[in-house]
Amino acid sequence: MQIHLSDISSSEGKCVQKSVPFEMDSITFQLGTFPVLDREPVELTITNTGKRVLELTGTGRITVGIPCDRCLEQVSVDIPLQFQRKLDLKLTDEERVNDLDESSYLTGMDLDVDQLVCLEVLMSWPLKVLCKEDCKGICSQCGKNLNDGPCGCVDEPKDPRMAAISDIFSKFKEV
């Protein structure tokens, strides 16, 4: 959703509060495309602090489906949103690109709330996602989810010279 900022930027001291729905069904970036499973509206407060500078604060919540790092099952991950930004409207679009990260969500006098939320989600993205702490992952030979039970594959080392090392690792299941 786009918010036009010209009416706010023209009145020093003006403060506007908006509840804005997040409209995207998925989030896409370098790691792939992830479905948005649930969302709350983004509660924004935009304040003109003078000299064509706006202060933007907001909160919200989004739930994204992210694959488990071990078994690849989809996990619902809640990502709380809380941001505070200063938007300098005196800068040209090119100066914004060079100085700040505003290039994707601020174009001229238009604030793209969906792009702002995507940037916040990306910055809050979890490093590791597990469906459960003791997730067993998938079999490297047949691809079966080992959380559903053993797969029946023989756990033999491919190279007999590695048998001693395999014995060490089998004693410490989580290495």
Q: How many CA atoms lie within 13 A of 14 on its CB side?
A: 13
What's the token pair of residue 54?
A: 């706006």
Q: What are the beta bridge partners of residue 15?
A: 47
Cα-Cα end-to-end distance for the chain: 46
For the chain, what is the mean pLDDT? 86
- Cα 110 to chain centroid distance, Å, stands at 23
Q: What is the mean pLDDT of residues 11-40?
A: 93
Q: What's residue 175's pLDDT?
A: 41
Please determine, for residue 137, whether its predicted confidence score (pLDDT) is greater than 70. Answer: yes
Q: pTM above the 0.85 mark?
A: no
Mean pLDDT of 110-114: 90
Q: Is pLDDT of 106 > 90?
A: no
Mean pLDDT of 170-174: 62
Report which of residues 87 and 17 the model is more confident about: 17
